[in-house]
Structure 1
Amino acid sequence: MKIQFEQTKFMESISIGYHLWKEFRTKDWFYLSLYTLIYFTHCFFFWDQMSVMNTNLESELMARNGVVYFWQLYPFQIIPVYVVSFLFVLVSAGVLIVFLKLKNIRMKFLLLPLIRKQFQLFFYILSLLYIGNLCLGYFHDSEVYIILILCFWFGLYIYFVKGNVNLFNQMIRMDSNHPSSLSKGIGYLIPILWSICIICLVRI
């Protein structure tokens, strides 16, 4: 009886945990929290490596620029990620506002849901990117490491673009006068335009 009682309590705990997980996943900030948790967990367990990397970064940046900003070092490198995500939201909002205005679609019913979904997609991709980079790190000394990294990044970027296109196309219902190819085109435009903005900022 005692064993059965313990098994029942264990199954109930699993069931409660599963339902909490499902509820948590529906939140807009789920993937943001997941990415942040993964990042700081990695920093915590591999802080010795991070310290060495910080020392190397400081030496390199001082030799090149003569100055080191705190957000260029671990664990503060997550701050630029948040800034980049904010830039993505701004670019998305700008493109969406122009598109919805031109097509006379009521923004208040579409703009915020689209932005929230894109924000989720962005940090979902970032979580995959971070986990993938950590896994591929085991092949760092391999001759095919660069090829693996490039293939992974390129594939993930294509997945990101396609996900944005599908999201945009699903949420915006075009009437008969506006072909779905137009909404798909805007879906392609947002991540590509955002990528161009990032490249320009990096070059500056």
Structure 2
Amino acid sequence: MAFNPGVYEAVNKLLATPKPKYPYKYKNVELHVNLKNHSHAYFHRSIRLSHSIRTKLNVCVLGDELHCAEAIKNGIHCIKANIIFKPKKTVEYYMKKIIMTYDAFLISDSLCAQMPSKMAVQFFRANKIRRLLSHDKPMMEKIEELKYTINFKLINSRKLSTVIGNLRLTPEELNDNIITAIRFLVPQLKGKWGNIESIYIKTPEGEPHLVF
């Protein structure tokens, strides 16, 4: 397990913040990265971490008949192909509402090529996790995998942010997730650590705690 005293100190400060018993323990912990000397280039990367990021994950399946049947059997919301490929204006309005409702989407690989381009843009702008769904891997296994996956997305901005864990994780588990994410992110930047101005963690309503 990776360890860094600065990260561990920030995690302990965050966890020591006075908080109500419920529903605070279910809240996410966010990682925020401020950049400098960055070219504003398009940036979108994903990584699977060692410890579950979310206690609850709202997943929607955009699927063919077989995938929708599997989703219904497992109590997962699904949208069939004939709904996705409605007339242009109808689908745009409908998908905007759907995209904002769910945290992640599983899309049948057979439907991916047929998906309207504007729908793909909406997914990207909302920074939602998307994964292709094939028939050779169980759906629930794919959903479990999503609970460990984070997205880094940057467009014309100097700030990256993502959910890095939740308050039900131990300090050691949060520490491990944060260090893994940072070690993954920094080499992706052209200037490496020279592009990093600051890194901090926080809960959605909490104060920031500096990591770097």
TM-score by length of 1: 0.24
Report the structure number with the largest CA radius of gyration.
1
Normalized per residue, the structure richer in helix is: 1
Normalized per residue, the structure richer in strand is: 2
Q: Which has the higher contact order (CA 8 A, sep 6+)?
A: 2
